[in-house]
Amino acid sequence: QLMSMRCSNRFTTTAITNTPSIIRPIALLNTSRHFPSSRRHLSFGQQTPNFQWQSSRALEAWVEKPARPVSLRQLIFFGGRHLDERRLLDSANYVRTELPTRIAHRIRDMQKLPYVVVTNPHISYVYQLYCEAFDSFRKIKEIHNQDDNDKFCAVLKQALHRHLTVIPKLVMGVLECRELMSPEQLDKFMNTLLRSRISRRVIAEQHLALTDTFHSPFHFPDSSPEHPNAHPDFVGEVFLRCNAKEVVEYCGRLTQKLARKAYGDNAPVPEIIIEGHLDTIFPYIPSHLEYMIGELLRNSIQATIERHYNPANPEPQQVPPIHILICHAPQHIIFRVSDQGGGIQNSELENIWSFSKGSKRDTQLQNLAMIPALAATMQELETSGFGHSVTRKDGHESSLTRLTSRPPNLKLGIGLPMSRVYAEYWAGKLEIHSLEGYGTDAFLQISKLGNKSEQLTLDGL
């Protein structure tokens, strides 16, 4: 019996024994009084850490370093057809020093949370992951050659995989801590943490993609971009020629398919009408754009069906279409998604951006722990084994697999705030205007020129 208690209590045990000594907690506390979920982690003689910290010179030193944000253009500059060993190693060393810096800042944020919040088992699980990742990355020595880089890439891949559960864990943690911090504080914490996480995954995945390109048999640094097997329009994860209309069509098809799965073949699925500047092309990371457009369409389709479809009526029914307007301005691309799904009640409007106020979300939480449905990028899905490949016209695979691979009735409830995190990360915007009783207009603004740096925190720090 003792053995099985130990096994079921793996997290708590590792939390204490594996935490790097620089940041190891020095005392123990039982938190099950505050967090019912922590009870299943606790067994006789084992308790969660209380997070009073030994002073940590290593952490202090890294917290002092400022992050060095990059722009899409800089990401492109590292790669492209001029990618050579020097540039690859520069990219490797940038990621090698940038990851521990960015993680150290977030560890420090977590250390500033109220004591009782950090002891939440989900939050402390994430804290633990970050401490381990920080400790492993800060120790990696300068990367001098391809051999060093290959080893570094193996560590990166493993870390990306290990961190797949971070978002569901954070969502559960934040919901369990609703009574302990104000919604504003919790949302600020989540926004900063998630934006920073996107940024770390972007630079890590970009470097992995550049390394793949470098090793690809079709990569000849001096060859012309017309090489039949090269993808001159992709530099790592950045697609230089994102076609706004094609992205919308693609997301539309997949979200319509998802709606059919969720509501049954008899339910009418709204048509998606695309208008405006239909030849708009700009550089972006397709998985980010697809996440945002996919979530907006998913919301609009769901609202439209739920407002206009009556499953009790056996007659064929029709629902109003969703209109997407693409506007190509000098500095920005704007997508306006308009539906007639009844809008959002005024009393609900202030909650739509919150990670901590969702009420419907609670019932889904058990599932969240099991399903990495909030995978933020293609790689998260691939490594989680939940994705199935959808090959795009340009030969690359799309992150939208998450929409079709997610169980159709699993409403995660953070699509909107998460989409805004994505939009703001590359200095864009996401706004919702509700016409109560009629429909909703969502405005997604994307910075067109690729010269805006990552926005790592809410206050620019």
Q: Can you tell me which of 174, 190, 202, 204 binds ligand COI, judged by CB under 6 A?
A: 204
Q: Can you tell me which of 133, 153, 297, 337 binds ligand COI, judged by CB under 6 A?
A: 133
Min. distance of Cβ 147 from ligand COI in angstroms?
21
Among 41-49, 140-148, 195-203, 330-338, which window interacts with ligand COI (CB under 6 A)?
A: 195-203
Q: Is 209 in the site for ligand COI (CB under 6 A)?
A: no
For β-strands 234-235 and 238-243, DSSP reports them as: antiparallel
Q: Cβ closer to ligand COI: 290 or 380?
A: 380
Q: Using CB atoms, what's the residue nearest to ligand COI?
A: 163
Q: Cβ closer to ligand COI: 31 or 383?
A: 383
Q: Is 448 in the site for ligand COI (CB under 6 A)?
A: no
Q: How far is CA 427 from the centre of its chain?
A: 16
For β-strands 439-447 and 332-339, DSSP reports them as: antiparallel
Q: Cβ closer to ligand COI: 166 or 281?
A: 166
Question: One symbol per residue from 73 to 112: x for binding ligand COI (CB under 6 A), - otherwise; what is it?
Answer: --------------------------x-------------
455 Cβ neighbours under 8 A, 6+ residues apart: 69, 195, 424, 425, 426, 427
Q: Can you tell me which of 118, 166, 296, 326 binds ligand COI, judged by CB under 6 A?
A: 166
Among 175-183, 193-201, 291-299, 437-445, which window interacts with ligand COI (CB under 6 A)?
A: 193-201
Q: Can you tell me which of 105, 138, 195, 200 binds ligand COI, judged by CB under 6 A?
A: 200
Q: Cβ closer to ligand COI: 270 or 387?
A: 387
Q: Could you tell me if 164 and 402 are in contact, meaning their C-beta atoms sit under 8 angstroms apart? A: no
Amino acid present at 378: M
Q: Cβ closer to ligand COI: 374 or 432?
A: 374
Among 23-31, 54-62, 141-149, 200-208, which window interacts with ligand COI (CB under 6 A)?
A: 200-208
Cα separation values, 414 from 5, 184, 295, 399, Å: 34, 16, 10, 17
Q: Could you tell me if 152 and 92 are in contact, meaning their C-beta atoms sit under 8 angstroms apart? A: yes
For β-strands 322-328 and 272-276, DSSP reports them as: parallel
If one counts every other C-beta atom within 10 angstroms of the C-beta of residue 349, the result is 14
375 Cβ neighbours under 8 A, 6+ residues apart: 164, 167, 381, 384, 386, 387, 399, 402
Q: Is 374 in the site for ligand COI (CB under 6 A)?
A: no
Amino acid present at 29: L
d(CA 111, CA 183): 18
Min. distance of Cβ 363 from ligand COI in angstroms?
26
The dihedral built from the CA positions of residue 154, 157, 161 and 163, taken in this order, carries a sign that is positive
SS3 sequence of 17-46: HHCCHHHCECCECCCCCCCHHHHCCCECCE
d(CA 19, CA 17): 6
Q: Determine the size of the site formed for ligand COI (CB under 6 A).
A: 10
Amino acid present at 190: M
Cα separation values, 434 from 269, 325, 415, Å: 21, 17, 17
Min. distance of Cβ 442 from ligand COI in angstroms?
27
Q: Cβ closer to ligand COI: 96 or 361?
A: 96
Among 110-118, 199-207, 397-405, 413-421, which window interacts with ligand COI (CB under 6 A)?
A: 199-207
Min. distance of Cβ 354 from ligand COI in angstroms?
21
Q: Which two tokens stand for residue 397?
A: 């695979």
Q: Can you tell me which of 41, 105, 122, 197 binds ligand COI, judged by CB under 6 A?
A: 197
d(CA 144, CA 11): 36
Min. distance of Cβ 199 from ligand COI in angstroms?
9
Q: Can you tell me which of 113, 160, 373, 412 binds ligand COI, judged by CB under 6 A?
A: 160
Q: Can you tell me which of 75, 116, 159, 344 binds ligand COI, judged by CB under 6 A?
A: 159
Q: Cβ closer to ligand COI: 176 or 380?
A: 380
Q: Can you tell me which of 105, 201, 207, 406 binds ligand COI, judged by CB under 6 A?
A: 201
- CA Rg value for the chain: 23
Q: Can you tell me which of 163, 288, 361, 406 binds ligand COI, judged by CB under 6 A?
A: 163
Footprint of ligand COI (CB under 6 A): 99, 133, 159-160, 163, 166, 197, 200-201, 204
